[in-house]
Structure formats: C-alpha cells, structure tokens
C-alpha cells in the first residue's frame, strides 16, 4: 500500500514537471529545466572571491552571500527552482571585418561602431530584459499554481540573492564557462536566465556535469582588460561590464582607459567563444527586437540628457541601471579614449 502511494506521488510529480516545462515553452522561453536547491558545495569559493575585493562596489553581493550559498533559504519552504533561458543574440546588419574568420562564420560577432556612438553589449539592444522575461515568468508562475494548486512561487530575473548560473547548471541547461557565463550547448551564452522558486513538488533534472570548455582559453586571452585572474575567477574591478554598469561614482584615469570604446557592457569574452561562433543564432523574439537608439546611441545626446528627459527616452531599457549620470560618465570616457581627429 505504502509503495503504491509513493509510486502515485512520483507519477504526479513527473506529470506536473512535464506540464510546467511545456507551459514555459508555450509562453516563449527557449529552454527550461528544474533545479534542486541544496546548499552550494563550492560556497567557500564565493567567500574567497568577496574577500579578495573582486566585487568592487557591489556591496549587495556581500549582503546576499549567505542566501546565494543556500538558495533554499530565499523562499521559505522552497523545494526547486524552475530555470528558463531566453535567447537574446541579435547578430548584426554590419558584417564588420570580413578578414576576421569569426565574422565569416557568424557576422553578428563583430559590430562596427560609428564615431557618433560607442559599443553596447547585445543584451541592451532591446527593451529591458527584466521587464520582458519578468512578465513571462509571472505568467509561468500563474500556470504553475494552476497545475499545482496552493503552490507558492517567487520570480527572479537577474535580481536578488539567486545564483542563476549555478541553478541553470543544476537544471541541466549548460555549464559555467571559464568566463563565468552559462554556456548552453545548443545556443551558446547569449541568453537571459530567469528563475521561478517554488515549494511545489517537481522533479529536478539531472545537472549538467561536463565542462566542455576543455583546454580552450579564447575568452581569457581575448579580454581587453585582463579581468580574469584565473579560469572562472573574474576581478569585476577590471571588467568593462562592471565599470560601465555597476560601478558607482566617477572613473579614475585608469578606469576610464579600461572602458575603451565600450559605452555600456562588453561582449568580447562571448564574441570569441567557439560555442557562440558555432551555435548562436539571431532571435526572432518580437519583444526583444533590436532598437537602433540602443544598439548605437548618440554620444552627444547622452551627454545632454538629464532627469526626466533621460527617463522618458531610456526608462524601459537597461541604460536605466547606471542612469543618466552613469551614461554621461561612460560617454565622456569613450570620447576621451579616442585619439584626436
């Protein structure tokens, strides 16, 4: 009798897991898996990284550390995380340097930049992903509560103390590359990760155990600022993405030079990854359509915009993270880094 009850429980858990995943794909996610929430066995690595000062001014990472190491504590009673991937790779209408072998394979990996603009990471070329992915996660949460009545849910999109990449690995969606990015073997690393924590009884997927980077060092060697202290170890203080997005305050002379031509973020370590060269394909997601004023924003406009004017133009974009002051700082750095005409 007890064995029959257990078999029925497992069958229901399996059915519910399949139903949730099917609904996620219907909503528009490109991939989905279910992750277990046990304490991270590599938690000491986060402690060492923070102690080394590699987080820079991101003090929130210190405050969130304990929950990041033990994700089950983020939502009381949580059993699993439903993890989703959304492809945001845009490619490019500019083929760039045709002599570059990477470009001939996938022209989206090199982007020409006009003198009037600076380089922008591809994830910021469209409406803020927090909004797009967040809306979809809320729809998935509603669906999950219909499939498992009474379930508690909480959604996260690159926010809060959630270790998104580790949970994505546990959900079987890919491995964490030497550049610390999640690499999906079918899509590469140009993906947004969404996480739905729940106390629903769902069956965790098998974690992705293999590290398919092998001996490749393309991302480490291509980093223009030598921000990688070792494979999987990033010193954010030297990372262009950190400097142009998360860093608070102005730039010193050294920080300004590190920014180079990058106005917002940096894609270099992804651009050179063989998994992106081979597998990244432009998204056809209408909600993530490329916006020219984001892909190649005008530097002079950014220098002039303040307050409400900035919010009106860029309030629904990733540029809102550094804000008007941060984008003025970045635009000034790009211009200062250019040789006189």
- Positions marked active-site: 158
* Residue 233: CA count within 13 A, CB half-sphere: 13
Nearest residue to 230 (alpha-carbon basis) of 69, 48, 63, 61? 48
**Best CA proximity match to 248, nearest among 163, 169, 138, 329:** 329
Q: How far apart are CA 191 and CA 184, in angstroms?
A: 8
What phi and psi, each to the nearest 5 degrees, are found at residue 188?
Answer: 85, -150
Calculate ∠ Cα 257-261-262, nearest 5°: 95
Say if strands 31-36 and 153-157 run parallel, antiparallel, or are unpaired: unpaired
Are 263 and 111 a contacting pair, CB within 8 Å? no
Residue whose structure tokens are 């992705």: 208
DSSP assignment of 77-127: T--EEEEEEEE-----S----TTSHHHHH-GGGS----TT--EE-GGGSSS
Distance of CA 165 to CAs 95, 158, 192, 304, Å?
A: 31, 10, 10, 37
Tokens of 237: 């203080």
Instruction: Name residue 153's beta-bridge partners.
Output: 198
Residue 85 CA, chain-centre distance (Å), reads 10
User: Exposed, middle or buried: residue 287 (CB in 10 Å: 0-12, 13-18, 19+)?
Assistant: middle
User: Is there a contact between 137 and 24 (Cβ–Cβ < 8 Å)?
Assistant: no
């Amino acid at each position: 009798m007890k064995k029959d009850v257990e078999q029925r429980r497992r069958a229901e858990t399996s059915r519910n897991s399949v139903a949730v995943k099917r609904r996620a794909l219907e909503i528009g996610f490109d991939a989905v898996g279910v992750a277990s929430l046990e304490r991270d066995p590599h938690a000491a690595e986060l402690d060492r990284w923070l102690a080394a000062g590699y987080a820079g001014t991101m003090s929130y990472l210190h405050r969130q550390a304990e929950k990041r190491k033990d994700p089950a504590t983020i939502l009381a009673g949580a059993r699993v995380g439903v993890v989703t991937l959304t492809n945001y790779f845009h490619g490019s209408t500019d083929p760039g340097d045709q002599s570059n072998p990477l470009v001939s394979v996938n022209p989206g990996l090199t982007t020409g930049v006009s003198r009037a603009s600076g380089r922008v990471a591809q994830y910021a070329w469209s409406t803020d992903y927090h909004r797009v992915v967040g809306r979809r996660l809320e729809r998935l949460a509603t669906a999950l509560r219909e499939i498992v009545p009474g379930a508690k849910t909480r959604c996260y999109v690159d926010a809060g103390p959630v270790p998104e990449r580790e949970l994505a690995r546990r959900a079987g969606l890919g491995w964490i590359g030497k550049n610390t990015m999640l690499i999906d073997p079918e899509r590469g690393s140009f993906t947004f990760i969404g996480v739905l924590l729940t106390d629903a009884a769902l069956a965790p997927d098998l974690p992705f155990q293999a590290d398919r980077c092998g001996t490749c060092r393309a991302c480490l060697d291509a980093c223009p600022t030598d921000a990688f202290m070792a494979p999987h170890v990033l010193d954010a203080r030297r990372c262009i993405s950190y400097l142009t997005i998360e860093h608070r305050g102005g730039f010193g002379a050294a920080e300004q030079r590190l920014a180079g031509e990058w106005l917002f973020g940096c894609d270099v370590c992804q651009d050179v990854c063989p998994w992106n060269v081979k597998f990244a394909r432009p998204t056809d997601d209408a909600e993530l359509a490329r916006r020219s004023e984001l892909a190649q924003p005008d530097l002079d406009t950014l220098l002039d915009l303040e307050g409400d004017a900035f919010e009106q133009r860029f309030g629904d974009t990733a540029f809102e993270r550094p804000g008007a002051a941060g984008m003025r700082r970045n635009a000034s750095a790009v211009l200062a880094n250019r040789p006189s005409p």
